[in-house]
Amino acid sequence: MSQNGHILIIDDEAPLRQTLARILQRAGYEVTTAESGEMGISILASASFDLVYMDIRMPGIGGLATLKAIHESQPNLPVILFTAQPDTHSAVEALRLGAIDYLLKPLQPEVLLDRTRAALTRLEKERRKREIQSQIESLQAELKKLETGELSTASLRPNPAGGDRFLTRGHLTLDLHTRRVNIGKSIINLPPTAFDYLLVLARHAPNVVDYQTLVSEAQGYQAETREAQELVKWHIHHIRQAIERDAQNPTFIINVRGSGYRLVVD
């Protein structure tokens, strides 16, 4: 069964890194490895991850120091630490610094996969909660403007560029009146917000649209980079499920890791 999730493994022992990576990859996860805390921090600065596994005892920057550095820039990124030498003080400190779990070596495959599924499920629930909250806040702000007369009902209707009803990119057409998507002869209905995200991508195509611009133009919501990235990921998932032949190997909506997404249609 294919899974969703990009996982970073940080450990100075090459055999263990490779073993953990194989187990997770066979379960369908995307895996990147790093041999030190320094390398892990560098990789995290240039790519997006959903979960980090990390040894607590490593040469150079140790696991606790690396954990602290990670959560200074990405406080919502789940990190699970592991060690061959159990230490109550280290376990307590790891949890205090934001680790979601603390495991002992040797790591059993079933335990690794169970903890991975649990961590990613929890992450997705938190993302969904934040997304719903942002939508509620946006709707409340819109309602307030309507009540005070700051927003007319005309402004709530689609406003196609140039007044045109259809926006076409290659064999993909968006009907801005019915808010439906046509791919060839197929008609696809998307959730309202997902349609708005696809519309933003289509208007900018084939250029890359960064996460914050996507959220701002699709939802009218100003978000920090990490929060925007999480919001966008959820809607891109829905769009891919609807328009891609294989959502796990997309050809229309391409992720430019660490930057955003772009729509590619010939």
pLDDT in tens, 212-254: 999 889 888 787 888 788 888 888 988 998 898 888 889 999 9
Q: Grade residue 156 by pLDDT with cuts at 50, 70 and 90.
A: very low
In CATH, which superfamily holds the domain spanning 6-123? Response regulator (3.40.50.2300)
The domains spanning 6-123 and 157-263 adopt the same CATH topology: no
What percent of the chain lies above the pLDDT cut of 90? 39
What's the confidence (pLDDT) of residue 241? 87
Domain-wise residue ranges, the chain: 6-123, 157-263
User: pLDDT at residue 140 above 70?
Assistant: yes
Q: Grade residue 161 by pLDDT with cuts at 50, 70 and 90.
A: very low
What's the confidence (pLDDT) of residue 152? 47
User: pLDDT at residue 261 above 50?
Assistant: yes
Q: What is the pLDDT of residues 124-138, one digit of tens each?
A: 888 777 777 777 876
**Is 239:214 a contact under the CB 8 Å cutoff?**
no
Other residues' Cβ atoms within 10 Å of the Cβ of residue 250: 17
Higher-confidence residue: 213 or 165? 213
Other residues' Cβ atoms within 10 Å of the Cβ of residue 60: 12
Other residues' Cβ atoms within 10 Å of the Cβ of residue 186: 9
Residue at 59: amino acid letter: P
Give the architecture-level CATH label for domain 157-263. Orthogonal Bundle (1.10)
What is the C-alpha separation between 103 and 223, in angstroms, rounded?
34
**Torsion angle of C-alpha atoms 24, 97, 131, 235, degrees rounded to 10:** -30
Cross-strand partners of 7? 31, 51
Q: Grade residue 78 by pLDDT with cuts at 50, 70 and 90.
A: very high
Average pLDDT, the chain: 84
Q: In terms of pTM, does the model score above 0.75?
A: no
Phi-psi sector, 28: left (phi>0), alpha (psi -120 to 50), beta: left
According to the per-residue pLDDT averaged within each range, which of 36-40, 44-48, 122-126, 163-167 is highest?
36-40
What's the confidence (pLDDT) of residue 86? 66
Q: What is the pLDDT of residues 86-122, one digit of tens each?
A: 666 777 777 888 888 888 888 899 999 999 999 888 8
